[in-house]
Structure 1
């Protein structure tokens, strides 16, 4: 019987994203589980809707919606990432060595996204917990406006440490606008003026710190960072006052 190849190296280069993704799917169907993708130049939808114990090492900058709808694969991007990473992701882990764009983790329902640097706008929008799944996003740098907008579940941990914007606030305007579930943890301080309406910010307690510590240890291990340094400051917990923040805007039936 022929020996099944488990590992495959692909060179993306100028390959059209459809061709690249078709090739990946064909290889998965043949039993390949570990991929190295070199010279990635903005190809979209890599690993979208893939399931199972698959691994991707990506060199270059992948395009939008990487890991969308995926359920299980592990993706390590050895560079920056564009918008929409982990769109409606169910499970798996994405590690990004650099910065990432907007709407990271849109409607994410499980798994983890670990980002070393800054992120753009509306990260974690519509993020939600699903059955036993608890999605998690850790941002090592700073975030743009509307972080955690309409968040319904899961955890966002914002560190503000590894940023190329030293003079910017840790997050932009209206953090957590419309948030009605889940929790956002911020390392250091979070000015009340930056919070969306209906949110409270208070020091993380002992139970919160256990959650933060576990998440930081995973994050630091993946990105080869010092977990003790990350955990050396205080953390703030941000949650909504109500799970129905806009209930009073609707006419009762």
Structure 2
């Protein structure tokens, strides 16, 4: 089943999508409509064009694949499922994300992964193929953010204030040198074999979705950012 969006108002488009009984649906000629796939479960949505803010917000198990770029708040507070973007996306990708995975072929804007969190078996992941804007992983509470840094030439692939206020989770960055000038809430070390084993399935899937040499990506130098237990932020969110 295919729905042609064109200039259909976002609320009407959302109602059309929810009304379709098919488990697989293509939304064609999307031009900024918001909240596509919001709260969806058990479906596969193929989006062609540029979806607006809140793509896959509260996603609960569906797969959304975008052939194009996406705007802000991709996967806001999503619980489960996959969002696959064959392009770049705007700010606050994965805001408050609680489960599932987001794969971005290109770059993402500011505050990706802000306050992501994990619980029991739920461990969300955001994989960014290119570079990320400032405040990546701000107040990160759990989950994994992986920045492959393709196109950065081995340079640090994040803008300013990476991991500000993080108190859990893990940020893994490909770069040739140890990242400097990180906030005091962040500890940094070179990736261990266990870290590499953790990110390997995500790299495999990234290459499966977008193409590329998974073995070459796995062989790159990675640095791992984790929360500094002496920085004090964890006291605001956890009880020991």
2:174 matched residue in structure 1: 187
TM-score (norm 2): 0.93
User: Aligned residue for 2:127?
Assistant: 138
Secondary structure of the 1:217 match is helix
Aligned residues: CA RMSD: 1.8
2:38 matched to which residue of 1? 48
The separation in 2 between residues aligned to 1:217 and 1:135, in whole angstroms, is 17
Question: Which runs of 5 or more structure 2 residues have no equivalent in the other structure?
Answer: none
Q: Which has the larger radius of gyration?
A: 1
- Which residue is 1:19 aligned to? 12
Between Structure 1 and Structure 2, how many residues are aligned? Answer: 235
Deviations 1:104-126 (A, max 9, x none): 00000000000011110000000
| Aligned equivalents of 1:172, 1:99: Cα separation in 2 | 16
Q: Which residue does the alignment assign to 1:204? A: 191
Q: Deviations over 1:139-189 (max 9, x none)?
A: 0000110000000000000111046xx798410111000000000001123
Query: Within the alignment, does 1:83 sit opposite 2:76 as a pair?
Result: no
Residue among 157, 174, 181 paired with 1:170:
157
Take 1:231 and 1:82, find their aligned partners in 2: how far apart are those partners? 29
Give the Å deviation of 1:243: 8.2
> Partners in 2 of 1:23 and 1:181 — Cα distance?
39
User: Hey, what's the Cα distance between the residues in 2 that align with 1:14 and 1:177?
Assistant: 39
Separation in 1 of the partners of 2:178 and 2:75? 26
Work out the CA distance in 1 between the residues paired with 2:95 and 2:135. Answer: 12
Preserved CA contact (<8 Å) 1:116 1:162: no
- Structure 1 unmatched ranges of 5 or more: 1-7
Identify the match of residue 68 of structure 1 among 41, 54, 57.
57
Moved over 6 A (4+): none
- 2:110 is matched with 121
How far apart in 2 are the matches of 1:45 and 1:156?
Answer: 23
Find out whether 1:222 has 2:202 as its counterpart: no
